[in-house]
Amino acid sequence: MSSEETAASTKPTPDDDGMTWWYRWLCKIAGVLGGISCAVAGVWNCVTVNPLNIAAGVWMVSNAFVLFLCEVPFCCQFIEFANAVAARADKFKPWQKAFFYCGMALFPVFLSFSFTTLFGNAIAFATGVLYGLASLGKKGDAVTYARLQHQKQGDEERMTGTTNGAPE
């Protein structure tokens, strides 16, 4: 085994980001629903004469394509680079996906504020929020929290020189 193969085998996998299997599936399902809502609302938004609405609609359809490409690449199986893009997207940390998806969903709303752009991008934005919550990590358990509080209380007592409220 060469040193490159050893380094490649010790790289952390994307499964090490602290997300459970059901939360990972929830994010993927939200991405698919966000892509569908962006595509439908984007096409509906393009049926107008206002150029800003058309630009927002085209951006929403491209958002749908990117969401499908990153979250469910098997939907884009006839595009040669789909698996490469999906593999690269899986290497991103959850906060990077959150920032990307939320920013991608906000742009059409700023471009043309309407019900179509607002509600069409809401689920895509929610996908970014779900990834943002995943980047916060798991909630701590009560035993660890109680242990930390007890240690903090002991440290404060040593600093002030008191035990149970009475000076030593």
Burial of 76 (C-beta count, 10 Å sphere; 0-12/13-18/19+)? middle
pLDDT of residue 8: 44
Give a yes or no: residue 96 inside a domain. yes
Give a yes or no: residue 73 inside a domain. yes
How many domains in the chain? 1
pLDDT of residue 144: 75
Q: What residues make up the domain containing 109?
A: 30-153
Give a yes or no: residue 4 inside a domain. no
Give a yes or no: residue 62 inside a domain. yes
Give a yes or no: residue 23 inside a domain. no
Give a yes or no: residue 40 inside a domain. yes
Q: Quote the CA–CA distance of 164 and 61 in Å, as a whole number.
A: 65
The pTM is what? 0.71
Q: Which residue has the tokens 């990307």?
A: 100
Those residues of the chain that have pLDDT short of 70 are: 1-17, 140, 161-168
Give a yes or no: residue 18 inside a domain. no
Q: What are the pLDDT digits (tens) for 105-118?
A: 999 999 989 898 99
pLDDT of residue 84: 87
Give a yes or no: residue 22 inside a domain. no
Q: Quote the CA–CA distance of 94 and 92 in Å, as a whole number.
A: 6
Q: Quote the CA–CA distance of 48 and 43 in Å, as a whole number.
A: 10
pLDDT of residue 52: 92
Q: Quote the CA–CA distance of 94 and 82 in Å, as a whole number.
A: 20
